[in-house]
Amino acid sequence: MNISLDDAYSIKTPEDSRKLYAKWAASYETDFVANQGYEHPKVIAAHFNQIVPEVRTVIDVGTGTGLVGLELSKLRPNLEIDGVDISPEMLEEAKKKGVYRNLYERDLTTVITDLESPYDSLICIGVFTHGHLLPSAINNLIPLVRSGGNFVIGINANYFKEEDFESLLTQLYGSARISQPNFEEVRVYALNSPHHESLNVITTFQRQ
């Protein structure tokens, strides 16, 4: 069965997400990552490595098949990486990477209280996009990180504008829950990819 970005963008519920990624897990890295030139894991790991100081722990939110953790492990060999995702099948693929300390199956639309938190930092791609999590889910992520800890979140640029992520993050800053957020648009597909014009907004801040 061929699964496309359009299928992923059409997800409506957590159960839809579980069903789609159960079917996609085994072929995700060939069908999508390799064939479509998806480079976001490398891009965000490099960004994390550039702006986040030496820390001991990170939670990879929306772990998928573990490509972000794999890239982080190359740049920060001593970093202890945990992962969380809604799909057990995707997490099984992530486990094969051999870089995660713990992997958790959780629904990110709800408050998560039973991980090894608070973590020193959080990294996240692929969940704040069409058909996936709304901006309000950022409220569920903040408690996972200690005060002063770093967040590095990749958000689909069109979705960022459509759902007005900047307003929510400005409110969180105004209520002293996070530091002033920074936004940087980046390309996350190879130049020869049919999606090479697609942008993501890498959003960074600290928990206050």
Higher pLDDT, 1 or 120: 120
DSSP β-ladder status, 182-187 and 199-206: antiparallel
Q: How far apart are CA 167 and CA 135, in angstroms?
A: 9
Enclosing H/E stretch for 102: strand 100-105
User: What does the pLDDT look like over 119-176, one tens digit per residue?
Assistant: 999 999 999 999 899 999 999 999 999 999 999 999 999 999 999 999 999 999 999 9
User: What does the pLDDT look like over 64-117, one tens digit per residue?
Assistant: 999 999 999 999 999 999 999 999 999 999 999 999 999 999 999 998 888 888
Enclosing H/E stretch for 204: strand 199-206
Sign of the alpha-carbon torsion through 55, 56, 61, 65: positive
* Those residues with Cβ within 8 angstroms of residue 193's Cβ, 6 or more apart along the chain or in another chain: 36, 37, 38
Residue 195 predicted with pLDDT over 90: yes
Backbone angles phi, psi at 27, to 5 degrees: -110, 0
Would you state the pLDDT for residue 186? 98
Give pTM, 2 decimals: 0.94
Contact 195, 37 (CB under 8 A): yes
Q: How far apart are CA 155 and CA 152, in angstroms?
A: 10
User: What's the alpha-carbon Rg for the chain, to the nearest Å?
Assistant: 16
In the Cβ-directed half-sphere of 183, how many Cα atoms lie within 13 Å? 15
Q: What is the DSSP letter of 181?
A: P
Q: What is the mean pLDDT of residues 7-26?
A: 89
100, 105, 107: which is closest to 123 by C-alpha? Answer: 100
Q: How far apart are CA 70 and CA 76, in angstroms?
A: 10
3-state secondary structure of 118: coil
Q: How far apart are CA 11 and CA 107, in angstroms?
A: 14
Would you state the pLDDT for residue 1? 54
Would you state the pLDDT for residue 2? 75
Would you state the pLDDT for residue 136? 96
Domains and CATH numbers, the chain: 5-206 (3.40.50.150)
